[in-house]
Amino acid sequence: MPRDTLSRDQIVRTAVALLDDEGLEGLNMRALGKRLDSAATAVYWHVKSKDNLVLLATDQVWGELTLPDPDAVGWRAAATAMAADLYRMFTRHPWLVQVFAAHLVYGESKARHDEHQLAVYEAGGFTGADADRAAAAVFTYVLGNAAGVAATASLTRRLDRDGGAREQFDAAMAQAREIAERFPRLRARLDSAAATGYAASPDQTFEFGLQSLLDGLERTASHPG
């Protein structure tokens, strides 16, 4: 596809799809050009560099987030909805976790989200730097939970690429179990219903932690100082 038939929006959307499939390590101009049926040089003409493309792709998916009105639903409901939406975005696009480890992330969509998030915590009674701290506490909680999803996606890609994925995974799990059996609390949980439920319901674990964090923030806002 000649460069004059490409658009930056088309390139960015294709880059997001490539990142979803291959992760940050799979993004390069040659692979992207192949998906676009275009030369890598034509892609560079529109986005200049891989780092620039990563920022554009990141801001593209940041635009997927909804911004609930705290005046309409209450600050805590808005904070809960924003955190849950952010977590779903990270799980849809696990490469975003890698981006935060390697890039300074900025863009118009992210700025719009961050501005609204501050408004939500200000509606909850936080002022000045405390609103920033409250927003940052929730964001890092979401990012930390999403890191597990991103790690699983990266591991799965690597095992699939190397071959024998199921065998390697089973062998690693067997070794992990052998180590855990040396410790009484871990050993007691290996086959318990609680452990099975925990592993099967990461979203419930996320919700439990989020509400506990918001409980603490709500108490802090009610009793400042």
- pLDDT-derived band at 1, boundaries 50, 70, 90: very low
Do 109 and 218 lie in one domain? The reply is: yes
Do 55 and 88 lie in one domain? The reply is: no
170 falls within a domain: no
CA-to-CA distance for 191 and 188, rounded, in angstroms? 7
Mean pLDDT along residues 48-60? 94
What confidence tens digit (pLDDT) does each residue in 166-201 have? Answer: 787 788 888 988 998 899 888 888 777 555 655 556
Do 47 and 82 lie in one domain? The reply is: no
Do 134 and 198 lie in one domain? The reply is: yes
Within 10 A of 91 (CB to CB), how many other CB atoms are there? 19
Instruction: Give the count of domains, the chain.
Output: 2
CA-to-CA distance for 207 and 80, rounded, in angstroms? 9
Within 10 A of 49 (CB to CB), how many other CB atoms are there? 10
Looking at 17, 40, 60, which one is the last position of a domain? 60
Do 73 and 134 lie in one domain? The reply is: yes
Out of 41-55, 157-171, 199-213, the most confident range is: 41-55
CA-to-CA distance for 30 and 160, rounded, in angstroms? 22
Do 115 and 79 lie in one domain? The reply is: yes
**Domain harbouring 32, CATH code:** 1.10.10.60
172 falls within a domain: no
pTM: 0.85
176 falls within a domain: no
Within 10 A of 130 (CB to CB), how many other CB atoms are there? 17
180 falls within a domain: no
Do 86 and 56 lie in one domain? The reply is: no
Do 216 and 202 lie in one domain? The reply is: yes
Do 111 and 152 lie in one domain? The reply is: yes
- DSSP letters, 130-192, are HHHHHHHHHHHHHHHHHHHHHHHHHHHHHHHHHS-HHHHHHHHHHHHHHHHTTSHHHHHHTTS
Do 73 and 119 lie in one domain? The reply is: yes
What confidence tens digit (pLDDT) does each residue in 126-136 have? Answer: 999 999 999 99
DSSP state of 63: T
- Range of the structural domain that residue 136 is part of: 65-161+192-222
Q: What is the widest separation between alpha-carbon atoms in the chain?
A: 65
Amino acid, res. 62:
W
- Strand ranges for the chain from DSSP E: none
CA-to-CA distance for 94 and 65, rounded, in angstroms? 15
CA-to-CA distance for 114 and 158, rounded, in angstroms? 34
DSSP state of 31: H
CA-to-CA distance for 117 and 109, rounded, in angstroms? 12
Do 97 and 202 lie in one domain? The reply is: yes
Do 70 and 100 lie in one domain? The reply is: yes
Lowest mean pLDDT among 39-43, 141-145, 158-162: 158-162
